[in-house]
Amino acid sequence: MQPPTGPALAPAPGSSPGPAPGSPLLRWQWREVQAPCLVAGWILVASLAKIVFQLSRKVTSVVPESCLLILLGLGLGGIVLAIAKRAEYQLEPSLFFLFLLPPIVLDSGYFMPSRLFFDNLGAILTYAVIGTLWNSFTTGAALWGVKQAGLMDKGVEAGLMDFLLFGSLISAVDPVAVLAVFEEVHINETLFIIVFGESLLNDAVTVVLYKVFNSFVEMGPAHVQATDYLKGVASFFVVSLGGAAVGLLFAFLLALITRFTKRVRIIEPLFVFLLAYMAYLAAEMVSLSSILAVTFCGICCKKYVEANISRKSRTTVKYTMKTLASSSETVIFMFLGISAVDTSKWAWDTALVLGTLLFILLFRAVGVILQTWVLNCFRLTPLDRIDQVVMSYGGLRGAVAFALVILLDGAKVRAKDYFVATTIVVVFFTVLVQGLTIKPLVKWLKVKRSDHHKPTLNEELHEHAFDHILAAVEDVVGHHGYRYWRDKWEQFDKRYLSQLLMRKSAYRLKDEIWDVYCKLNIRDAISFVDQGGHVLSASRLTLPSMPSRTSMSESSVTNLLRESGSGACLDLQVIDTVRSRRDKEDAVMHHVLCGSLYKPRRRYKASYSRHFISPSTQERQDKEIFQQNMKRRLETFKSTKHNVRSAKSKARLKKDGRKKQKKSVANTELPNGKPPRSVNWQQTAAVLVAVDSDSEESDSSETEKEDDEGIVFIARAADEILQGKKASGSLDICPSPRIIPPSPTSAEKELPWKGDRGDLAVYISSETTKIVPVDMQTAWKQSISSLESVASPPGAEPGPHAKTVAGPVLDEGPKLERQMMPEQRICFQFPNPLLRSSRPQSDSSLERTEQPELQPLMALDEHGRMSTSAGPSNSRWLIQFNRPTRFSDG
């Protein structure tokens, strides 16, 4: 950013200006650190400024951050100017293009909503290509007209070519500015993607026009021949398609590389950044459109990369990208402000400045209206007037234009100083004035805002169905539209690309509906855990989310665990999961879960001293509960048995080969740790273990987690568990303070709720977790009682083979409550294992209160499943009870 950077980057060893004689204690080595120090300093200043801006909500809600940053830059530049008497710093084009721009473009490409982008690709391309061409030529020509009319100063020595050159650089909408402003405006997605997509894709046009006109100017208009024009046209295709191709190539490489990073998880994010950056540099090297390259690289690699890399890496990529982009953006705007102070480069011409401002606004509006008119003939949902206004007005110019104008060769383009001044004014005007006013404008015009709501399973599912329906209808109509091609592409992707670029495990598990399902579960889990942190609210708040997870198969539990990372939860989960319908699987799951137990415990041990005070009574209470639970389990055992058995036998009988395999696998799993093959959920189970463990361990386990053979891992996990148990055996004894709080409180909470019983509405989404419906509470209460569970699963979780199980048979009440149980148990039980070893103590009143409650509930539960047949005892329970001993033995 600052001129001295170049030379200072390679510090000469002897150059430090320390005093020559003797060997001084300290030496002043400013020169050696100057460059990086200045860079870091500026970034720091910019970031600090952001903090300051955010201090006042009032200001930031009205003034976009970009405006504030530019103003700050102006101020800082002024100070520097006042002190140093000359403008020290300014936005260096080379730095801008090589370092500041790529992160922003990568960020926007990578997080571009690809579906939306491709849905509107036609419109985006039109505006980006035709629109930019139109803007450049009309603006340039009109300015030339003004010059011809003699309105401009004589000093502006520029011909038609110079004006066209200027027009080309000033007419391109700037992605950085657009993003900065529009992100705060929250217009609807379609509008946003069109404006923003345009600003990204017009880079190719801008680059080509700029280069072509620049060469024309350098050659001198007289020497330009027809072939040069043709070359210009051809170079447009080369530059844009070439840029996109480079991006695609690197996206492909990146996806391919991440497929094999299983053992080097830690550097996965690095590959993403490096290859994207390489794409940028490669495109730049051969003078293709580098912005296009990075954009396409980001858009295209995302699907495969996200599937391949680990969860942690995904988070890392996300945050690093956002951090880089955000700091680049900050620095860019600040330096725009600082650069503007440098008056030595200014040459003011009122007619030129006003003319440019007028023309870019006018021609953009005209261009948008004309293009929209054409596009609306083809668009399913036409862009209306208001959209057009926003699009015209949202055409912000920014740092790209500024950097390009600085790059002009002053010797060849003699009006450069005028152009620089005009560009600065234009950039400032668009960013400050338009940026400031666009929000009120959008509000005033009542532009449809985006409503950001979390995806729901229903939406995902039904929208999928819509897609299929529409594709089918198009087929029937015989008109192959966009959907037809998307269909084709998806099939191609599924058949070849995904297989090539995704890990087998990732590929197998890949399904969008399933993804959404997992995401929802994770979200619930997060909120659950978050709330778990607050002792008081924990029990209450988690309630609503429970039903959602209800039918909760292993996956949801998995997710819960994965996110929670708290030993407490894990513990509960252990008990919890065991109770699910597929007893055998559960046993295995249980196993795995236990494996993940020991580490968290260790953690608790660490924090043990801190929270030492609280435990005793609560702990004891938990212990009591646990004992009761166990007792109860035995009591209800008979009734449960039946259900469990039926589920089990059903599962066994299932024709589905895979399932059979799974079951049998699960069967064998516990005893001899024989690895089952290719069982989906086992993989997930493996994930659990991996995620919760800490760094190194997690590394090793994580590498495994996406392995194709989940089995191997599981067996191993079990081993690990046992070993871990050994290691952490002593930990059992230490009470974990963090764990304990929720359960007692939950017990307390429970009391007041007793009374209400409404209709049992089911709340699913995480938002609702915040509101605890009264009915939930009752349900929750009941579920607590049914903790013991009675193996709710057959009813609650009829599974795919639902035909036989048909939920409707059961009345809602019990069913619901059963569904909730998993969660409930979580709150309640997790402490158990810990408590098991804790010292016994006298009764607490809390506990007593609990007992009566449990009793009736239990009764209720049994009601629910009336089929009580005393059958042979279930292996499940055995497992359940055995395990603790096993582990402690181990």
Interaction with other proteins in 458-477: which residues (CB under 8 A)?
Answer: 458-459, 461-477
Which of 336/593 has CB closer to other proteins? 593
Contacts of other proteins in 382-441 (CB under 8 A): 382, 384
Angle at 729 between CA 723 and CA 732, to 5 degrees: 140
Does 70 help bind other proteins (rule: CB under 8 A)? no
> With CB under 8 A as the contact rule, which of the stretches 36-44, 284-292, 478-486, 858-866 interacts with other proteins?
478-486
Cα separation, 742 vs 572, whole angstroms: 12
The least distance separating other proteins from the CB of residue 685, rounded to whole angstroms, comes to 13
Which of 181/552 has CB closer to other proteins? 552
Contacts of other proteins in 515-554 (CB under 8 A): 517, 520, 547-554
The least distance separating other proteins from the CB of residue 117, rounded to whole angstroms, comes to 16
* Distance from chain centroid for Cα 396: 27
The least distance separating other proteins from the CB of residue 813, rounded to whole angstroms, comes to 9
Helices 268-285/290-308 angle, 10° precision: 160
Query: How many chain residues bind other proteins (CB under 8 A)?
Result: 82
Q: Collapse the DSSP code of 488 into the 3-class scheme (helix H, G, I; strand E, B; otherwise coil) and give the result.
A: helix
Tokens of 493: 């992707």
Contact pick of 755, 759, 845, 852 for other proteins (by CB under 8 A): 759
Tokens of 213: 């006109």
Contacts of other proteins in 567-596 (CB under 8 A): 582
Let me know how many helices (H) and strands (E) the chain has, helices first: 44, 0
Does 222 help bind other proteins (rule: CB under 8 A)? no
Which of 30/485 has CB closer to other proteins? 485
> With CB under 8 A as the contact rule, which of the stretches 99-107, 511-519, 532-540, 821-829 interacts with other proteins?
511-519
Report in angstroms the alpha-carbon separations of 451 from 182, 190, 194, 455.
Answer: 14, 12, 17, 11
Cα separation, 814 vs 389, whole angstroms: 56
Site string for other proteins, 133-172 (x = CB under 8 A): ----------------------------------------
The least distance separating other proteins from the CB of residue 483, rounded to whole angstroms, comes to 7
The least distance separating other proteins from the CB of residue 588, rounded to whole angstroms, comes to 14
Which of 474/853 has CB closer to other proteins? 474
The least distance separating other proteins from the CB of residue 826, rounded to whole angstroms, comes to 17
Q: Tell me, what DSSP letter sits at residue 448?
A: P
Report in angstroms the alpha-carbon separations of 62 from 68, 393, 433, 444, 610.
Answer: 11, 17, 12, 14, 45
Which of 462/652 has CB closer to other proteins? 462
The least distance separating other proteins from the CB of residue 511, rounded to whole angstroms, comes to 5
Contact pick of 540, 623, 815, 818 for other proteins (by CB under 8 A): 815
Phi, psi (rounded to 5 degrees) for 449: -85, 165
The set of residues, in sequence order, having a beta carbon less than 8 Å from that of 30 and lying 6+ positions away, is 17, 37
Does 737 help bind other proteins (rule: CB under 8 A)? no
Q: Collapse the DSSP code of 741 into the 3-class scheme (helix H, G, I; strand E, B; otherwise coil) and give the result.
A: coil
* Distance from chain centroid for Cα 397: 28
Does 765 help bind other proteins (rule: CB under 8 A)? yes
Which of 325/506 has CB closer to other proteins? 506
Cα separation, 726 vs 717, whole angstroms: 14
Contact pick of 508, 754, 848, 863 for other proteins (by CB under 8 A): 508
Beta bridge mates, 187: 449
The least distance separating other proteins from the CB of residue 788, rounded to whole angstroms, comes to 22
The least distance separating other proteins from the CB of residue 460, rounded to whole angstroms, comes to 9
Does 456 help bind other proteins (rule: CB under 8 A)? yes
Site string for other proteins, 782-801 (x = CB under 8 A): --------------xxxxxx
To 10 degrees, the CA torsion angle through 459, 463, 469, 475? 180
Does 872 help bind other proteins (rule: CB under 8 A)? no
Nearest to 567 by CA among 728, 372, 335: 728
Match 């609650």 to its residue by tokens. 796
Does 478 help bind other proteins (rule: CB under 8 A)? yes
Does 764 help bind other proteins (rule: CB under 8 A)? yes
Report in angstroms the alpha-carbon separations of 631 from 82, 586, 594, 626, 851.
Answer: 82, 21, 22, 9, 12
Q: Collapse the DSSP code of 754 into the 3-class scheme (helix H, G, I; strand E, B; otherwise coil) and give the result.
A: coil
DSSP codes, 156-180: ----HHHHHHHHHHHSSPPHHHHHH
- Identity of the amino acid at 114: S
Beta bridge mates, 33: none
Contact pick of 13, 21, 150, 808 for other proteins (by CB under 8 A): 808
Does 677 help bind other proteins (rule: CB under 8 A)? no
Which of 616/680 has CB closer to other proteins? 680
Site string for other proteins, 480-499 (x = CB under 8 A): -x-xx--x---x--------
Beta bridge mates, 449: 187
Tokens of 392: 């015209």
Contact pick of 20, 51, 83, 380 for other proteins (by CB under 8 A): 380
Contact (Cβ atoms closer than 8 angstroms) between residue 640 and residue 874: yes
Which of 407/445 has CB closer to other proteins? 445
Which of 720/797 has CB closer to other proteins? 797
Contacts of other proteins in 631-660 (CB under 8 A): 656, 658-659
The least distance separating other proteins from the CB of residue 523, rounded to whole angstroms, comes to 12
